[in-house]
Structure 1
């Protein structure tokens, strides 16, 4: 019996994995596939009904099927609208997954942001692109480089998996996010400066100044 249960469990797991793959990768991945799938289910339902109760059952219950068909059309139209709206939602999101933080945990006053910049920073933490660039003014004691480094620490804590191991296209995408989202003391960020500062920041992680910056950022995020 135990051997039978083990083998049956493996077969069921393989069967469920195939169904999940079909539904998630083939059906849900495309609005057209989803609509065709629902229509197919509806057709199978009608055919099965006629086979069980006889062909005349469809004629006898025509008003019911007509209502079901109208509901199906409304559902399909709603799905098409829903998927189209998702396209517009995705254009407003950035490509980095942010660790979820309760709003009350975050002490934005430690970042010295004005009211509008705070609102835009909250959008950024929700995975959304900013509507207006955030004016980042923190870390002036060591010049502009300190601003960049604190920003790097901030995103190293916020982004799932951190940013220290970013390379190639992924790192360029991160720099583009910073340039699209922030100003440094009212000035635009430059890619070459970001590259230089990022490399220096990665190499200085064990220095006291870098440790203090990380401690401040973690306090601001309510991590410690």
Structure 2
């Protein structure tokens, strides 16, 4: 019995992989010709089992065939819509993964986000777009503008493997995420200055100031 169950499970996995491959790599990345091809296969198979079915009258066989074909087409459409929905949702998510931490251990006094901003920050850490921009309140030395380096350091601590070795494509997406998600002391982020600010941040990363920034955010999120 165990061997039979294992064989059935293996066959089921192969079928599931085949369906997944078809819809992800073929149907969704090409035109609808493959869908029509699959419908033809279902129609041919339905015709074969209809001819060898136990129904005696032609009308019964005809109703069975069209019922089978309609069910197959509906299932194909549902599968295609499901994978297309997954593709659309995944395309809306930011491609950054964050280290796990417990929200109840966060030092909210140091984080300086109000309750609504925490909700949006939680959305962001789930790779989603914020509903309202988060006001980042860390001042720089001049006390007039927000500290971009502190913002970079926060994400360097939170993003898995850090942000130091981001490629140009990753940096572009990262900068766009910052621009669309944060205000700097209630002022919009100047996107054009992020590249130079990031370079300056990387230069100071191993300095006493950079290490202090890094440790500050570890303390905020209670990270080891």
Secondary structure of the residue aligned to 1:223 is: coil
- Return closer, same or farther for 1:208/1:41 CA change in 2, 3 Å cut-off: farther
Shift of 1:212: 2.1
- How far, CA to CA, are the matches of 1:188 and 1:142 in structure 2? 18
| Bigger fraction of residues in helix | 1
How many residue pairs were aligned? 207
> RMSD across aligned C-alpha pairs, in angstroms?
3.8
- How far, CA to CA, are the matches of 2:56 and 2:114 in structure 1? 69
Aligned to 1:67: 67
Alpha-carbon contact 1:144-1:184 (below 8 Å) kept: no
- Consecutive unaligned residues in structure 2, runs of 5 or more: 1-14
- How far, CA to CA, are the matches of 1:76 and 1:166 in structure 2? 40
Aligned to 1:151: 151
Aligned to 2:138: 138
Shift of 1:29: 4.1
- Return closer, same or farther for 1:69/1:151 CA change in 2, 3 Å cut-off: same
Alpha-carbon contact 2:99-2:159 (below 8 Å) kept: no
Aligned to 1:177: 177
Shift of 1:127: 1.0
- Return closer, same or farther for 1:156/1:131 CA change in 2, 3 Å cut-off: same
Shift of 1:171: 2.0
Secondary structure of the residue aligned to 1:205 is: coil
Is residue 42 of structure 2 the alignment partner of residue 42 of structure 1?
yes
Aligned to 1:98: 97
- How far, CA to CA, are the matches of 1:22 and 1:201 in structure 2? 43
Listed as ranges, the matches of 1:70-85 within 5 Å are 70-79=70-79, 81-82=81-82, 85=85
Q: Which TM-score applies when normalising by structure 1?
A: 0.70
- How far, CA to CA, are the matches of 1:119 and 1:21 in structure 2? 34
Aligned to 1:221: 221
Bigger shift: 42-51 or 158-167?
A: 42-51
Alpha-carbon contact 2:46-2:69 (below 8 Å) kept: no
- How far, CA to CA, are the matches of 1:158 and 1:29 in structure 2? 34
| Deviations, residues 58-84 of structure 1 (Å, cap 9, x unaligned) | 945443333323323433443454456
Alpha-carbon contact 1:175-1:191 (below 8 Å) kept: yes
- How far, CA to CA, are the matches of 2:205 and 2:21 in structure 1? 45
Aligned to 1:112: 112
Aligned to 1:128: 128
Q: Which TM-score applies when normalising by structure 2?
A: 0.70
Alpha-carbon contact 1:123-1:129 (below 8 Å) kept: yes
Bigger shift: 174-183 or 139-148?
A: 139-148
Aligned to 2:7: none
